[in-house]
Amino acid sequence: MSAAEPKATKLGAAHRRARVRGRLAAALPALALALAWSGAFGGTLSGASAPTAAAPSSPAPRVVVIDLQGIVEPITAEYVTRGIAYANRTGAAAVLLELSTPGGLDTSMRQIIEAILASRAPVIGYVYPSGARSASAGFYILESCDVAAMAPGTNTGAAHPVVLGGAQPDKIEATKIQNDADAYMRSLAARRHRNVAAAESAVLQSKSFTENEALANQLINLIADSPEQLLAKLSGQPIRRVNGATDHIDFAGARFVPYTMSLRERVLDMNPDLAFALLAIGALLIYIEFTHPGVIVPGVAGVILLALGLFALSLLPLNWAGAGLLILAFVLFILEAKFPSHGILAAGGIVGMVLGAVLLVDTSVPGLRIHMSIALAVALPIAAITVFLMRLVLRARAHKVVTGEQGLVGQQAVARSPLAPQGRVWVHGELWQAHSSAPVETGALVKIRAVHGLVLEVEPVTQEQTAQAQGQGLGS
């Protein structure tokens, strides 16, 4: 009985057990008397048979489900290898590795394959759901599994090695890389008793296979619509292992145990699109901190996002021309706010940011590049926010200071005593000592030219300005 059963059911069972115990207690004296009678006369109780213990039911097999989605990179490899180790440590019947990947890094791929080959529990590679693919490095991982399966509407293959980075190898080096990848594929296909020639064609000719083509070419073992159907088809069927042994697993009533990424892995496992977005937003927040010093929060958040974005991009080959275009884009945004270019500089910044994003990751693998739609979605808001903030900063700096000593310079004051050349003036509701460059009569209007400590340097203004100021009540 599982812990999920209702409380009423548990109480009913406890009540029945109590009643049974009560009846047994009442029947014990009669049973003892019967046994004594039987022993005294050397007889046996006719019709009595020895009770047989019920065989304990075997627990339902556990299948650990590992979801490998996206690019095969160090964080993904860490997640998959930890999941396989968890399945082996907890005695799982099998590992279901669901694949939906465009490929990835060779070192991470080999790390995953090593864990698959060393696994005690059989690993079932399954390209799932419909519409998914397991290309390039994903094809190697699929072929390394004890059982290879695909869902309808999926594809695999296209495993020709691609050199990441700007400097492409020469012909001899490229041949060495291709031969190494081909030998690795031949080894995996032969160990799993699959079609070596068809597997080679995916490496040497970049051939891809639908699920039906892969099954016809003996690259996979079966096609299944769902994980439940997959286990139903595998139940009781022989599963060949790397060591030559054969497993027969009854998957009837199997229980799926999803193995999820840790919080650290979820934070660090980012695709190039998300990494670029975090990089741009982090740079914007740091820019806000510089233009609004003392806010602190944008600066701290910006540094964190910038670090995460740089970490994710550091796993990929970067094109420094693309990085230079991104820096140029921010410079053009700032210049647009400072100089009236009628939007020309801002448009140039948007173009520079979009091109920089597209060129930032230097690879021909589509899944590893930043998409144009993401580049536009990030560049346009960043451009608008940057130009808007820079305009606010420049406008604030252009405003005249109205507080402190600098706020007095240029203001008009009223003489409260003759200035010949020193006297007192009234400004901002206060009396100040003032020194005039020319004689000034009481009530006349003067203009403050400088502030020397507690003494104002003033000069007289025209009679028309004085009359206007008196009419406004400045001389009262």
- Domains in the chain and their CATH numbers? 62-265 (3.90.226.10), 270-398 (no CATH), 404-471 (2.40.50.140)
Transcribe 399-443 into DSSP letters: SPP-SHHHHHTT-EEEESS-BSSEEEEEETTEEEEEEESS-B-TT
pLDDT digit of tens for each residue in the chain (476 aa)? 333 333 333 333 433 444 444 444 444 444 443 433 344 334 433 333 334 444 445 688 999 999 999 889 888 999 999 999 999 999 999 999 999 999 888 999 999 999 999 999 999 999 999 999 999 999 999 999 999 999 999 999 999 887 765 556 778 888 999 999 999 999 999 999 999 999 999 999 999 999 999 999 999 999 999 999 999 999 999 998 888 788 999 999 999 999 999 988 887 776 788 888 888 899 888 888 877 777 789 889 999 998 888 887 877 777 888 889 988 988 888 787 777 677 788 888 889 989 988 888 876 666 677 888 888 888 888 888 877 877 777 676 665 555 556 667 878 888 888 888 889 988 877 888 898 888 888 888 888 888 887 888 888 887 665 555 555 554 44
Closest CA to 71 of 90, 48, 99: 99
Tally Cβ neighbours within 10 Å of residue 216: 13
Q: How far is CA 392 from the centre of its chain?
A: 33
- Give CA–CA dist 352/342, Å, rounded: 17
Alpha carbon distance 20, 254 (integer Å): 34
